[in-house]
Amino acid sequence: MSVGTRVAPAPTVTPNKAYETSLAQYDRAVSHLDLPAGLIEYMRLPKREYTVNFPVRMDNGDVKMFTGYRVHHNLVLGPSKGGIRYAPHVDLNEVRALAMWMTWKCALVGLPYGGAKGGVICDPKKLSDKENEGLTRRFASELVPIISPHSDIPAPDMGTNSQTMAWIMDTYSMTVGYSVPAVVTGKPINIGGSEGREEATGRGVIIVMEEALKRRGRIDRDEIRIAIQGFGNVGAHAALYASELGYKVVAVTDVSGGAYNPDGLDVEALFNFTRAARNNLLKDYASDDVDIIENDELFGVECDVFIPAALEDQVHEGNADDIKASLVVEGANGPTTPGGDDILRDRGIVVVPDILANAGGVTVSYFEWVQDLQNFFWDEVEIMRQLRRILLKAYDKVVAVAEDKDIDMRMAAQIHAINRVAQATLTRGFYP
């Protein structure tokens, strides 16, 4: 079966270009706001950056040094919030970008948080469970001076999960001498985690996608074809939820390649395969009704919705012309460069931006934090009801700004979020 025109391999994009993208987006947005120059510069820069180098004893007895980061971008609206990423490509610029996007994301959906992000340079798939635990606990001990339920609350991200958060929570709790569940979110439910947290980001992507489709008059789910880049926590749960609702998921990819079927994939089977063993990859999936495709081929797939849910800077000048979808819903943080944005906009493709589309994760993290602080927990029905309410309220605000200023949704979302932080800063004033 054919997936459409094969496109040339995408140009290599260095990970730290994400920071350039975040700053370019910010500069574009603030040009529409009448704000003092000093305030604009203040919001552009991270509040603080924390770099640590720490030892971990490996299974063979050797001691290996690792480097980790935690960046607090802005604390005006409340304690900082953001995930911790374990990946070989992590660097300070990437973490700066992700922290900035978290500030705007929290502001956009009305959460009482500022933005933060963290990361460790490592490949967690090449570490044993014991080594992962040792790395996590040592990194957590380095973060103890700057994290707390009232200052900075980490969460999972790429390469980390609920178990990682459990180790961080336990390390922090052992250090202070009592249990502090609210110091992290994304924990297992049996130690204070929230119902619905693991799948929240992916489900939120589909909730927002449905609203975008509805406003475009597309309501026949079985006629909507979806292609998803990335089959980690966000992409996989987005695919599962879309499939449950009756949408036709025709292609998914991970770092190894992907699976394609124009009549729709068995998403549950793919999900179970990739989760059955630690290193199971989509390229190794065997089925008569599935074609294995290369990552660059995904951009040539005939579809109605394209969901980039992998890394930043994936949609750019080299491939934005090849996307066949009329709607792009950003499951990843910063997956589209400014140049890619310009091409998509010129082609009439609607982009639902990351700070709106993937805000489901931090929203349910907020619910988890509130539940931990109160020691009062909600059921999953209430979690999902509140999640939908918050995301659709934010969607309405973005559309209102876009229509009022005759701009695209990314610009509208950034303007609304940045202005909320700006007005809060002006109200608080500058100390001293």
The alpha carbon dihedral of 406, 407, 413, 418 has a sign of negative
Question: pLDDT > 90: what percent of the chain?
Answer: 88
Residue in 69, 67, 115 with CA at minimum distance from that of residue 92 = 69
Say yes or no to pLDDT of 245 above 80. yes
For position 345, what pLDDT does the model report? 95
DSSP letter at 6 equals P
Q: pLDDT, tens digit, for every residue of 125-171?
A: 999 999 999 999 999 999 999 999 999 999 999 999 999 999 999 99
Say yes or no to pLDDT of 285 above 90. no
Say if strands 291-293 and 257-260 run parallel, antiparallel, or are unpaired: antiparallel
> Do you find a cis peptide bond into 432, omega within 30 degrees of 0?
yes
Check if the beta carbon of residue 270 is closer than 8 Å to that of residue 285.
yes
Rg (CA), the chain: 21
What are the structural domains, with CATH classification, of the chain?
A: 46-190 (3.40.50.10860), 200-357 (3.40.50.720)
Distance CA 9, CA 154 (A): 35
Say yes or no to pLDDT of 71 above 80. yes
The gap from C-alpha 57 to its chain's centroid, in whole angstroms, comes to 31
Which residue among the candidates 81, 117, 248, 397 is catalytic per the annotation? 117
Q: Using 50, 70 and 90 to split pLDDT, how confident is the model at 276? A: confident
Say yes or no to pLDDT of 231 above 80. yes
What pTM, to 2 d.p., does this model score? 0.92
Q: Using 50, 70 and 90 to split pLDDT, how confident is the model at 7? A: very low
Residue 117: active-site member: yes
User: What's the order of all strands across the beta sheet hosting 152-156?
Assistant: 48-57, 63-72, 114-121, 80-87, 152-156
Q: pLDDT, tens digit, for every residue of 322-355?
A: 999 999 999 999 999 999 999 999 999 999 999 9
For position 13, what pLDDT does the model report? 38
For position 177, what pLDDT does the model report? 98
Distance CA 282, CA 284 (A): 5
